[in-house]
Structure 1
Amino acid sequence: MAKTKRTPVDFSELGGFRYLHFGSEWIQGGMRINRPYSLALEYQQYMLALLFFRPEPKDILQLGLGAGGLAKYTWKYFPDAHTKVIEISEDVYMASRMWFKMPDDDDHLEVVFEDCKKYLAGAANTADWLLVDIYDAEAWGPVYDDVPFYRLCKKALRDGGISSYNVFGGEDFTKSLDNISKAFDGRVLVMPDVAEGNRIILAKKGPKETYSVELLDQRAAELQASRHLPAKKIWKKLKQENNLKGEFEF
C-alpha cells in the first residue's frame, strides 16, 4: 500500500443531510441520511451526465473518494460494472465507512490508496467512465488542474470513454475548461453552475459520434426510471447549456 496522506475529517448534519468536512467549513461530500445510496449533492448528479453517452460502463475509474457518494451510487446501481476509486487519504476512506455507509471492497468495488496523478501515469485504456472530484482541505480548486494532468486522464480512458470533472465556477472555470479542452481536442460539453459554485465538464475520447437529441430525450426518461437519478432534469440542463438541437457531434 502506498503511504497515505493524513487528513483532518469531521462531519455536520442539517435538515436530514450529513456533510463531510476536511477540518474546515467547506463541504467535501454529503449524504441524505434516509437515502444513503442516492446522490445527495446536485453537482454529483450533474457528473452523471456522462450516462447519456455511455449508459452501460464496464469499468469506472474515480479519482477522489470524498464521502463516497459517487462510489456508493455506482456500486449499487451499476452492479455489472467494476468501480475503482483512487484516494490518497486513508482518513477520508475511514470517514466514509464510519459516517457515510461506504461499503466494503468486493468484486465490483475497489479502493486504492495512491496519489491520483501517480496512478494515472501507469494507467492506459482502462476505463469507460472517469469521474474526477479532487479537492483538499483548502478547497481552492481541484488539486490538479493543468493540461498534462488532463492528458493523463484521457490516456486512462478507452476509445469512446467519457470523463466528468468537478471544477470551480466563476473566474476559475475558463482556465479549467481551456485546459480540459486542449487535452481532449475540444471534445467537451459543460453543465451550468450549481448552488455550491461548482461546474461540471464532460470530455470524451475517441472518434466523434453523432447523437440525436430526440433519442437522448427518450434515453433520459428511461434512465430516470432505471438509475434513480433526475436524468430528465440533468439532460435538459445539458441541452440548454450547450445549445444542443437535432443531431450533434460529440
Structure 2
Amino acid sequence: MDHSHASFNAYMKFLAGPPADGTPVVLETANALSLHFDLLATQSFMSRRDPHKLVLGYTRTMMGFLLLKPTPSRISMIGLGGGSLAKFCYRHLPDTRIVAIEIDPAVIALRDTFHIPPDNERFEVICADGAEYVRSGDARPDVILVDGFLAHGMPAQLGNAAFYSACHARLADDGVLVANFVEDDPLIPYYLEEARSAFGDSLSIFMAEDSCNYTMFAWKGAAKLPSRDALLARARTLATDHPLNLLATARRLKQGTSLAMNWRSEQNSEPGEC
C-alpha cells in the first residue's frame, strides 16, 4: 500500500470540511490519527508507532500534577477526546483508579480507534456532563484534569466559580486541579478569577510545552508550592519512570504563580511564545 498517497487522500478529504454540526472527525494518515471538530484545531493526536505517547505538548504539561501528587489513588478526567492522558496514566500509574467523563457519545464511540482500554476495575469512561459529575459525585480524587472541549470551544460550565468550587469540595484534602485553556481564549482572566474564588492564591498558570495552550494548576492544602529546588528534585526522581519533561514544567509551575497574580499586567508586557 502507498501510505503517502493514502495520507494525501485522507488529508484532502479532511480539508473538504468536517460536518457543521460539530461531529468529531478522525484524520488518519500513515503515521498518526488525530481528532478534530473543525479545520482550526486538533483535539487529540495519536502516533501509530507509539499509541501511548503524549505527542501534544500541553498533555505532557498537564502531567505536571505528578510534581505535587506523584502517586495519586484516583484521577478524574473531564473530557476524553482521543484518550491521550487516559492511556498515559493507565500505563504509567498502575495503582491509580482513573475515571474519564465525556459528554459526547460520538467521542466515546471512537475509543477503540484511539486504542483506549476497555472499562475494568481501575479504568472507566462515563458519558456525562463533567460539571454535573463533579457536583453530584461522592468520590474524592487526588487529581482532577479538565480538558473538555466541544466544537464551539470550552463549555461555560467548566470555567465558572460554581464549577471550581465544586472541584475544590470534591478533591482530596491535598488534591490538585489542572485545566487546559486555548491560548487565544479571551476569557482566561475570567477563569482565573473564578478559580481564585475557590482556591485563593493557590494558583499557577503558564504556557504549556511546545504549544499555544495555557495550563492552570490549583491545589488544596499548603498555601504555597514547594520551593523551586524541591520541585526540580522531584522532577529528577520522577524522570526514571515517566517520559516527560518535568524539569521544564517544574520551573514554569513555580514561575506561573506570579503570572496568576498579575495576569493582566504580565500579558501586556510579555511577548507571546507562539
Q: Structure 1-normalised TM-score?
A: 0.86
Q: Over aligned residue pairs, what C-alpha RMSD do you find?
A: 2.4
Q: What corresponds to 2:75 in structure 1?
A: 60
Alignment of 1:135-214 (within 5 A): 135-139=149-153, 144-170=158-184, 171-192=186-207, 196-208=211-223, 211-214=226-229
- 1:178–1:238 distance in 2 versus 1, CA, 3 Å: same
- CA shift digits 1:177-221 (9 cap, x unpaired): 111112212211112255543211000123436623222212111
Please tell me whether residue 116 in structure 1 is matched to residue 116 in structure 2: no
3-state DSSP class of the match of 1:211?
Answer: coil
Q: Distance in 2 between matches of 1:36 and 1:115?
A: 27
- 1:216–1:195 distance in 2 versus 1, CA, 3 Å: closer
Deviation of 1:74 (Å)? 0.7
The residue type paired with residue 56 of structure 1 is T
Q: Distance in 2 between matches of 1:207 and 1:215?
A: 14
Report the identity percentage: 27
3-state DSSP class of the match of 1:160?
Answer: coil
Q: Distance in 2 between matches of 1:181 and 1:123?
A: 23
Deviation of 1:32 (Å)? 2.1
Higher strand proportion = 1
The residue type paired with residue 85 of structure 2 is L
The residue type paired with residue 94 of structure 1 is A
3-state DSSP class of the match of 1:191?
Answer: strand
Q: Distance in 2 between matches of 1:211 and 1:125?
A: 27
- CA shift digits 1:30-59 (9 cap, x unpaired): 112211112111111111111111111001
3-state DSSP class of the match of 2:175?
Answer: strand
- 1:60–1:140 distance in 2 versus 1, CA, 3 Å: closer
- 1:124–1:184 distance in 2 versus 1, CA, 3 Å: farther
- CA shift digits 1:97-129 (9 cap, x unpaired): 22x111111111011111112211212461000
Q: Distance in 2 between matches of 1:143 and 1:121?
A: 11
Q: Distance in 1 between matches of 2:192 and 2:57?
A: 20
Q: Distance in 2 between matches of 1:162 and 1:238?
A: 13
Q: Structure 2: 5+ residue runs without aligned partners? A: 1-20, 260-274
Q: Distance in 2 between matches of 1:19 and 1:240?
A: 32
Please tell me whether residue 39 in structure 1 is matched to residue 54 in structure 2: yes
The runs of 4+ residues in structure 1 deviating greater than 6 Å are none
Q: Structure 1: 5+ residue runs without aligned partners? A: 1-5, 245-250
- 1:96–1:196 distance in 2 versus 1, CA, 3 Å: farther
Alignment of 1:83-122 (within 5 A): 83-98=98-113, 100-122=114-136
3-state DSSP class of the match of 2:121?
Answer: coil
* Alignment size in residue pairs: 238
Bigger shift: residues 39-48 or 233-242: 233-242
Counterpart selection for 2:88 from 66, 70, 73: 73
Q: Distance in 1 between matches of 2:153 and 2:48?
A: 24
The residue type paired with residue 123 of structure 1 is G
**Does the Cα contact within 8 Å between 1:147 and 1:179 map onto a contact in 2?**
yes
The residue type paired with residue 158 of structure 1 is A
